Amino acid sequence: MSDTRDASDEDLLDAARGGDQFAFRVLVERHHDALARTVAGMLGPGDAIDDVMQEVFVQFYKNLAKFRGDSSVRTYLNRIAINRSLDVLRRRRRSIRRFVGIEDIPESETATESTAVSSADKTVWKALDRLPNDQKAVVTLRLVDGYSTQETAEILGVRYGTVLSRLSRALDKLRDQLGPVLREDLDQ
CB of 44 or CB of 154, closer to another protein: 44
Q: How far is the CB of 46 from another protein (least distance, A)?
A: 6
Applying CB under 8 A, which residues contact another protein? 21, 24-25, 28-29, 32-33, 36-37, 39-41, 44-50, 53-54, 57-58, 61-62, 115-117, 120-121, 124-125, 128, 139, 143-144, 171, 174-175, 178, 181-182, 185-186
In whole angstroms, the minimum distance from the beta carbon of 104 to another protein comes to 25
Calculate the dihedral angle through the C-alpha atoms of 125, 129, 131, 132, rounding to the nearest 10 degrees.
Answer: 150
CA distance 142 to 152: 7
**Residue 127 CB, nearest distance to another protein (Å)?**
9
Cβ 50 to another protein shortest distance, Å: 5
Name the residue nearer to another protein (CB basis): 102 or 116: 116
CA-based angle 147:36:15, to the nearest 5?
85
**Which of 91/97 has CB closer to another protein?**
91
Contact between 178 and 127 under an 8 Å Cβ cutoff? The reply is yes
Closer Cβ to another protein, 35 or 153, answer by number = 35
Residue 157 or residue 180: which is nearer to another protein going by CB?
A: 180
**97, 105 contact by CB (below 8 A):** yes
Angle at the Cα of 47 from the Cα atoms of 45 and 49, rounded to 5 degrees: 70
96, 126, 101: which is closest to 112 by C-alpha? 126
Question: What DSSP character marks residue 131?
Answer: S
Nearest distance, CB of residue 19 and another protein, angstroms = 9
